[in-house]
Structure 1
């Protein structure tokens, strides 16, 4: 599709009010308008959404945006609808009448952007409609694409089937139809980039890889000798920011509730946030935080994606996340206004004798991975070589995750989003994940240098010192 560049800029100014694009927004927009694939890694707050929203709005037809969280979908769609733009979302929490209205809009081809999860994409009402020959599909966008590698082989196995969406849809579309596939994320190391290319079956994608370095983010790690010491360190830190917005990240729902109860008893304006809350409860907490009715949120990783608050002055990881990509995502939610922001991570002392909690959490994750691998190994001999996924799930309720594990070990391929074929029958071995997060927490060099190197920016990292992380200040 050819669109005059001046018209693209004019529409950008009209809709979003900015004079011009930030690099490389313009180049990404042109890539998607040309129906070319793309892999985009831009820091949190870098303006990724505009890069796929504007091309979708400039074309006839529908762009599908695959998003991991309801909150993320709702925030983006509400913003678009407030500008009277043809966007909608589908998830299992919206009223039936609104769902039917959106499905009708797909058939009438009045939408330009449709936000939905992988699970909703593969539901019969949605898939049957978008597969119809007359329904024009321009693009498949995977927003927060790192979720494919973080969740696709554990509790969101539908992510593993996204790679065959384009080829399956094209079988029902007019000859010559082109559908662009693009992955957008703030964090993807070289290994994750390769997984995304392969899993999404990207075709010679244009790559836009921006450095994650943020000069206003001060990174700091402190050792806690005991659980009590960890709480004291948190309380001391909070006293330094009595009226400034922040976020406290924990690893589980229970820890979110327990820490919230403690901080509320000390008269802090806060709330506990996790996936166990209803949609209405989550929206209410987000609204309270965005409007400064509460100072901070005690949250699991469920909070933050797509929630834009510019004046977050501090981020605390009361417990470190499992993955370095999660960490970079979460600290990146601070300081979007460019002003100084402190990011503190609290960890157990290295021996684990006085506080074994961090080590126990890592061991639990390892055991869960081993169990999933064992279940996948056991199911190989019990399922057909080729079958529809729903037939296998009816017989083996936990089979969907096992199929995802087999896919990750290259022992299975998807013929379409609903049909698999086994291609190998060798023994599965649960490969240990390189623990980059642990290495980061104990590094004896500039923390930003470590992050730049870990995410593939080797040239920038070679002689880099930020001058403001805890290591650089000590040095």
Structure 2
């Protein structure tokens, strides 16, 4: 494989029209082409997708891209197809004829990139095709890799089975006499990409994907055009008033309003529509076709803003997003920085505003109640996992279990009570189950406390975030633009 700089730049210009790479795109591409595992933490809008799309086009065989959301996959595949590049997608919402067409391309090895979710990849019919000895696979890509840590032990348990994929694929390919003669050709690198991963998340990604001495590319999430403000409110009425006043001033600019629950998404959207501010509610409970239509209406600015849960926005590129308004406090900093990071991708000023209840929550316990609800629900799941472990065989196949039990298996996997023999078969290995589950619960509480500390800090907002996500410069950092820095500058001039 010719991966010289001149060759890479020629193909960059040919397919994407760019003259030069941004750091560290070239370095990541070279690592993938050299068969090395990678862990890439790069801010939204930093050009992550090019880092795995370009090497896929320069090699024979298939690059599998595992991605969490249909909208995210469709956007990338559409852009590739517009360039006449051999890429496709598989998901449960496809029409039968489109699915049949893609499967035909896959089986005849006419694709270079295939996008699918963890659940689709590990559905038995698709896995049978992917693991066929004659199908050449040259790389596995996990896009939005923080989802493995964030969702793997809750509603997307398949994520924690991904670590068993590489060894199973290599084994299936080496059963072929052709491949057995050239074992070194089955390096099969894994590259994990995300915009957000603190030290703990990086460790989980590395351990549960079974990355081998990965090359790490950790780029600061700081954006000097993203101005952060936290506003304390005292009553439910004050919370609504702050939002309405904001919309009055910003209703001609593109924005997002984040809430924590589906019910709040519907209620706040209805309230603003009644006041004459046209918008849509968006959450994971809507049908896929409705979600796609809302996304398209927002991208085309038929509506200026969406009232949404965390289900909205991942991977959707809207450069002129001018404001992000958190009507309620996020539970974790990982989701918060993901959500505010969608603003101002065009380099122009964007605002990120969060409303928080005063500390006691006496007059408005909304934030406290939401935090308590989600934390208690997670703790209950962990405790249920301890009960279910006694009812499961020490070895088994996940296809024989209900979805609820599959979630419990993921919790046991995360607490090191279970490991995967392959992507479908597990083995339970009991070792201090009470202590290990207790550790997971304490870790969840610690992450929630960290968000509370951030909302109440008097230091630079960006400095706090950089420090929390493992960037040493955060300890003494001052952005000069967040609400805390503005107060500090004002006091210094008194």
Task: Pick the TM interval, shorter chain.
Answer: over 0.9
Residue in structure 2 matched with residue 447 of structure 1 by the alignment: 461
Residue in structure 1 matched with residue 134 of structure 2 by the alignment: 134
Structure 1 residue 3, shift from structure 2 partner: 2.9
Give deviations 1:168-212, integer Å, cap 9, x for gaps: 100011222111101100000011101110000000111000011
Confirm or deny that 1:424 pairs with 2:430. yes
Confirm or deny that 1:114 pairs with 2:114. yes
Counterpart CA distance in 1 for 2:97 and 2:137 is 24
TM-score, normalising length from structure 1? 0.97
- Partner of 2:250, secondary structure, is coil
Confirm or deny that 1:211 pairs with 2:225. no
Counterpart CA distance in 2 for 1:286 and 1:38 is 31
Confirm or deny that 1:472 pairs with 2:489. no
Q: Write 1 or 2 for the structure with the bigger share of helix.
A: 2
Give deviations 1:41-82, integer Å, cap 9, x for gaps: 001111101001111111111111111111111111111111
Structure 1 residue 469, shift from structure 2 partner: 0.4
Aligned partner (choices 308, 322, 334) of residue 313 of structure 1: 322
- Partner of 1:381, secondary structure, is helix
Alignment RMSD, CA only?
1.2
Pairs within 5 Å for 1:371-390: 371-390=380-399
Residue in structure 1 matched with residue 59 of structure 2 by the alignment: 59
Cα gap change, 1:116 to 1:53, in 2 (>3 Å): same
**Structure 1 stretch displaced more, 370-379 or 120-129:** 370-379
Contact 1:256 1:274 in 2 (8 A): yes
Aligned partner (choices 243, 246, 263) of residue 254 of structure 1: 263
Counterpart CA distance in 2 for 1:189 and 1:425 is 27
Structure 1 residue 137, shift from structure 2 partner: 0.6
TM-score, normalising length from structure 2? 0.93
Residue in structure 1 matched with residue 366 of structure 2 by the alignment: 357
- Partner of 1:472, secondary structure, is helix
**Structure 1 stretch displaced more, 114-123 or 94-103:** 94-103
Structure 1 residue 4, shift from structure 2 partner: 3.6
Aligned partner (choices 221, 230, 236) of residue 230 of structure 2: 221
Structure 1 residue 279, shift from structure 2 partner: 2.0
Confirm or deny that 1:326 pairs with 2:340. no
- Partner of 2:172, secondary structure, is coil
- Partner of 2:391, secondary structure, is coil
Pairs within 5 Å for 1:20-419: 20-173=20-173, 174=179, 175-176=183-184, 177-391=186-400, 393=401, 398-419=404-425
**Structure 1 stretch displaced more, 58-67 or 374-383:** 374-383
Counterpart CA distance in 1 for 2:385 and 2:477 is 44
Counterpart CA distance in 2 for 1:28 and 1:148 is 21
Contact 1:380 1:425 in 2 (8 A): no
Structure 1 residue 397, shift from structure 2 partner: 5.0
Aligned length: 471
For structure 1, the residue ranges without an aligned partner over 5 or more in a row are none
Counterpart CA distance in 2 for 1:237 and 1:269 is 14
- Partner of 1:240, secondary structure, is helix
